[in-house]
Amino acid sequence: MVLNFAHRGSLTEAPENTLSAVKKALSHGAKAIELDVQLTKDGELVVIHDHHLKRFTKETTKLIKELTLEEIKQLDIGSAFSQAYEGETLATLSEILSVCPSEVLLNIEIKNIPVIYQGIEEKLLYCLEKHQRIDNSIVSSFDHAALQNLQNLHSEIKLGMLFYYRILRPWEYIQNSGLNVYSFHPNIVTVDKEMIKASHDAGLKIYPYTVNEMTSYNALMEAGADGVFSNNPHIFAM
C-alpha cells in the first residue's frame, strides 16, 4: 500500500505542525501525517520544525529549549500564516495525539540537530505509550544516534532513518548500523531506481521527502517507492 504523509500536517492551508494543520490533513482523509518534535526548557514535547520561533512571531528570539511550555503557550504563532489563525499556539505532542485517530500513521521526527535534546527519546516513548501509539507510529531522525537510543529503550518501535546528503549506498549503511530500521527517508534529489530496488532488497520501506510535483511523484510510484512526504498530499491519493 502506498502511504503519502502530509508534511507538517496540511502546511499550505494552516500554520505548519499545529493542531489546525493536523485537523486539515485529517479532513482531507490523510492516512499518514508527519510532525517534528522538540523539548521545551521544562522538558515538554512540542511540535515544531525550527529551533526558534523567528518565522512565526517577533515576540521572542529565544530558542525552543530556552522557553517553558507556559511561555510558549502565550505566543501567537498563527497570525504570521493568516489572520484566520490568530491565537493559534504551538501544540504539545500530547494535544496532537489526542485528535489523531489510531488508524492514522504518524511519522514523528526528532528534530535533534543542531540542538541535541538529552532524554527526548524517553519522553517521546512515554508519550506514545500513554496514547497507545507505539504500533502506529514511525519515529524518524537525521540524528541516527537518537534512533539508536530509541531502539535501546524499545526494541519494537518503528525507526525511520532520514538522510539529507547523497551518500554512497545508504541501504548498506542502514543494514550495517545495527539498528532495526523500518523505513529509509531520503532527500528526493538523491533518489533513483537503483536506490528504491536496493532498499527493498534490504527489507526497507522507502519514503522520499519532500515531493510536491505530480511528475516526480508519478516517477517515484512507477519506480516502486512506498510513499512520499508531501506539502500537497491531497493532489496525490492519500
Residue 109 contacts Ca ion per CB under 5 A: yes
Catalytic-residue membership of 49: yes
Instruction: Tell me which residues in 87-126 interact with ligand G3P (CB under 6 A).
Output: 109
Residue of the chain from 36, 44, 88, 143 that contacts Ca ion (CB under 5 A): 36
Residue among 93 and 162 whose Cβ is closer to ligand G3P? 162
For the CB of residue 37, give the shortest distance to ligand G3P in the complex, in Å.
Answer: 11
Q: Within its chain, how far is the Cα of 171 from the centroid?
A: 20
Neighbours of 164 (CB within 10 A): 13
For the CB of residue 70, give the shortest distance to ligand G3P in the complex, in Å.
Answer: 26
Residues in Cβ contact with 103 at an 8 Å cutoff, skipping those fewer than 6 apart: 31, 136
Catalytic-residue membership of 7: yes
Q: Is the dihedral of CA 104, 217, 38, 177 positive or negative?
A: positive
Q: What letter does residue 131 receive in the DSSP assignment? A: T
Residue 217 contacts ligand G3P per CB under 6 A: no
For the CB of residue 161, give the shortest distance to ligand G3P in the complex, in Å.
Answer: 11
Instruction: Tell me which residues in 61-90 interact with ligand G3P (CB under 6 A).
Output: none
Instruction: Tell me which residues in 43-102 interact with Ca ion (CB under 5 A).
Output: none
CA dist., res. 4 & res. 43, Å (int): 31
- Give the Å distances, CA to CA, from 101 to 22, 23, 91, 128, 213: 11, 11, 17, 13, 28
For the CB of residue 55, give the shortest distance to ligand G3P in the complex, in Å.
Answer: 13
Instruction: Tell me which residues in 142-181 interact with ligand G3P (CB under 6 A).
Output: 162
For the CB of residue 141, give the shortest distance to ligand G3P in the complex, in Å.
Answer: 9
Residue of the chain from 34, 44, 121, 226 that contacts ligand G3P (CB under 6 A): 34
CA dist., res. 145 & res. 160, Å (int): 12
Residue of the chain from 16, 36, 44, 88 that contacts ligand G3P (CB under 6 A): 36
Task: Look up residue 158 and give its three cell numbers.
Answer: 518503528
Q: CB of 208 within 8 A of CB of 191?
A: yes
Q: Buried (b) or exposed (e) across 51-84, using 16+ Cβ within 10 A?
A: bbbeebbeebeeebeebebeebeebebbebbeee
Residue among 112 and 140 whose Cβ is closer to ligand G3P? 140
| Residue ranges binding ligand G3P (CB under 6 A) | 7, 34, 36, 49, 109, 140, 162, 185, 209-210, 229
| Residue ranges binding Ca ion (CB under 5 A) | 36, 109
